[in-house]
Each structure stands twice: as C-alpha cells, then as structure tokens.
C-alpha cells in the first residue's frame, strides 16, 4: 500500500525526490466518554489502522493538501495565509495544526505537499479528525526539526480543534493517538496526564467495532452545549464543596451535593461524568485481572448513562446496542466516540466472532435498512514516521 501511495504522490505532485511517510492511528475509548474535558479518567486504545501521510518539502511557501477520502476537494493555500475557510472542509483540521504551530513562532519556513490516505473509511466515531491532525503535527515536527515531545504535539492538535475549528473537546483522542502502545490500553488521568499502560491480551476475548452506517448527528454544537453544562455545574458546585474539576467528585460526594444543582438536566450531566469516571477505573482493573464478565457489565452501564444522563444517543444506535447484546458471545456493548456518531464497541468471545457478525448484519438490516460494517480491533502503536524497511509490513 505504501509503495503505491508514494507512486501516486510522485505522479500527483510531479515529485522527483524521495518523500517521507508518516502514520497516525485512529483510536477508540474502551471507557471514559466526556470525562476528559472534566479532568477525569479515560481508557482509550490506539488502533492498528488510521491515516497515512506522504510529504515532501517545497522551496516556496505553497501548501498543497490532497485526501483520497475527499478527492473532489484538493486544497491549495499559502503558508502565510492559513485562516479558517468553511469551504476547505476536511483540510481545516490539518490547516489548524499548521497555523497554530507557525503562530507559536516555530521555524516552519517553507511550504510542502501532503497526500493523506486512510486504510479504512473515515469515521468520526474513531477519531479520524484527530488522526489527520496528529499525523500532520508529527510530520511537521520531523520535517522542520522542531524537537517537540508527543504531549506538546497533542496539545497543539487539541488547540486546533478548540480554537481553530471551534469544537471544545478534550485530549483523549489526541493523547491516545500520540502515545498508543501495541496490545495496551492507556489509563489516562486527564488532569495530570499521568498514564498507566494496561495489557489487553484478553485470551479468547476481543473488541469488535460495529459501524452502523447511520447518518450521524451534527456533533460540534451539541458537544459544546454539553461542555458548557458541565462548566455551569462545576461553578455552582464550587460554591458548596472545594473541587477544581468535576473529575474530583466521587458518587458519595456528588450525592451529598447534588441538591445544589436546581436544574435536573445539570444533575443528570454530572451524574454521568462521576459514574463514568468510576466505571473507567473499574474497567482498567477488570482488564488487568481479565475479568471479562464484569468488564462487559461496565459497557452496558456506560451506554445506559450516555443514553439517559448525557442524552447523546439516538434510536438507531440504541437499537444497535440492544441487538448486539442479544447475540451469543457478546458480553456488553456501548456507543463509542462520545456519542453523536454511528459506531458501537462490543466486548466479545472470539469463538463467536463470525456468527455475531452474520446475525447482527441480518437483524440490523431488517430493522433499519442499513448495512453495518465491522472492524475487529487490533491495538497498535502511536503516531510515527514509517521508514523504508517498514513499507511492506
């Protein structure tokens, strides 16, 4: 695949040099949705598939960006004119990273050509936007010898989404994409950025991603609304108890303080954050001890909370989770991507993989008219340059 991408890059950009190749995985949360921007705990994994970027420096200040996911929307701009443009669509994500790194007065002094390609179709539920941001930050770091660490690169990507794109999400996806480790989940404290790597060698169990191909909700405004509700709740609770973040709360302290929140919706939002934070810690321990039955139960509880307390699922996703959990060999299932998307993650027994896929496929199509797609999760490394010796891996 990589040799073919290099050939296509050379033909597309009339390049006669040897370009560099970079990769950033997609990621998925095993547990911990919406806890990150509340400075709680998350439990993501980097996936073995993601975004490739073929890049070559130019001698002028022109930037040319092409994505096989959006072949009808190639973007050309100037290094000194990188403001957000609505008609640039997908390219605003890498542009935002370039803009903010250059604004930080890093020595990015020439233009470049980049060809982006994903080895599975884009899915917002699998952090494709964060993947293209992180692969861009990683290649800029190498291309211009910036010598930035992974955490700094992750923060640039988060700032691009918050300040350039206008979506106030957290760090989970960027951090997991940067720091991913093969066959390990990351138990991340989103306040201190301390991480504990949890082995995910699950014997005869694994994770299955089910893409429902259900049209997703417009998530940015709804996401920002949830974050604002959390900030209002935190400010109100701080008048009663000494906390810095909602992630500081336990179920006990919240139970004693929730009467301060007069709005029932705000109570529900905080209840999800606090309970999800505790489920994340439990899920990490269940992974560590290979207690798959208990881990499956946390999946179910998480989905119910996202559905009832955070209100970020819709009927077809709830139906998909219910259908998944009815299949023999499925221990638990939940919406993933923080909601607003069309993917479900299920914890399964490997022996039932094919029958789960077949039965779910038929039942879901009969119920909705949509054809689902399946991705059997393989947990891989974080963002990196791919050298010539790795091209055929």
Q: At what angle do helices 92-103 and 128-143 cross, to 10 degrees?
A: 40
Going by C-alpha positions, the residue among 337, 380, 384 that lies closest to residue 42 is 337
Judge whether 127 and 154 are in contact, CB under 8 Å: no
Extract the tokens encoding 213: 């191909």
∠ CA 201-203-206, rounded to 5°: 75
CA 354 to chain centre: 26
- Catalytic residue annotation: 173
Q: How many C-alpha atoms does 3 have within 13 Å on its Cβ side? A: 6
CA distance 43 to 34: 12
**Coil, helix or strand for 229?**
helix
**Coil, helix or strand for 125?**
helix
The DSSP code for 384 is E
CA distance 209 to 219: 20
Q: At what angle do helices 264-289 and 292-308 cross, to 10 degrees?
A: 170
**Coil, helix or strand for 79?**
coil
**Coil, helix or strand for 160?**
helix
> Phi and psi at residue 373, in whole multiples of 5°?
-120, 155
Host H or E run for residue 137: helix 128-143
Judge whether 335 and 344 are in contact, CB under 8 Å: yes
The DSSP code for 61 is S
Q: What is the CA radius of gyration of the chain?
A: 21
């Amino acid at each position: 695949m990589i040799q073919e991408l290099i050939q296509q890059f050379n033909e597309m950009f009339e390049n006669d040099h040897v370009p560099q190749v970079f990769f950033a995985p997609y990621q998925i949360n095993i547990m911990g949705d919406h806890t990150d921007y509340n400075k709680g705990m998350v439990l993501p994994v980097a996936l073995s598939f993601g975004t490739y970027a073929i890049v070559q420096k130019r001698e002028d200040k022109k930037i040319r960006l092409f994505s096989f996911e959006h072949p009808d929307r190639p973007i050309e701009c100037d290094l000194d004119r990188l403001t957000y443009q609505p008609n640039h669509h997908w390219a605003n994500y890498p542009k935002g990273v370039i803009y903010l790194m250059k604004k930080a007065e890093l020595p990015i002094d020439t233009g470049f050509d980049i060809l982006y390609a994903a080895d599975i179709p884009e899915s917002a539920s699998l952090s494709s936007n964060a993947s293209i941001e992180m692969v861009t930050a990683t290649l800029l770091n190498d291309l211009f010898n910036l010598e930035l660490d992974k955490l700094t690169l992750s923060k640039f990507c988060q700032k691009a989404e918050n300040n350039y794109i206008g979506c106030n999400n957290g760090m989970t996806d960027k951090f997991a994409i940067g720091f991913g480790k093969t066959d390990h989940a990351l138990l991340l404290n989103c306040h201190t950025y301390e991480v504990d790597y949890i082995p995910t060698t699950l014997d005869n169990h694994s994770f299955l991603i089910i893409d429902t191909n259900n049209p997703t909700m417009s998530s940015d405004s709804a996401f920002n609304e949830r974050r604002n509700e959390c900030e209002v709740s935190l400010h109100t609770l701080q008048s009663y108890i000494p906390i810095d973040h909602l992630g500081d709360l336990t179920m006990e302290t919240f139970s004693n303080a929730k009467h301060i929140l007069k709005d029932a919706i705000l109570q529900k939002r905080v209840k999800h954050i606090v309970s999800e934070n505790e489920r994340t810690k439990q899920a990490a321990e269940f992974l560590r001890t290979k207690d798959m039955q208990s881990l499956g139960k946390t999946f179910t509880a998480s989905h119910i909370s996202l559905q009832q307390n955070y209100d970020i699922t819709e009927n077809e996703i709830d139906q998909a989770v219910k259908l998944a959990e009815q299949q023999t060999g499925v221990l638990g299932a939940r919406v993933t991507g923080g909601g607003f998307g069309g993917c479900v993650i299920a914890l399964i027994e490997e022996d039932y993989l094919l029958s789960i896929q077949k039965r779910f496929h038929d039942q879901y199509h009969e119920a909705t008219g949509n054809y689902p797609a399946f991705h059997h999760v393989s947990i891989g490394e974080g963002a990196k340059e791919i050298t010539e010796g790795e091209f055929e891996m």
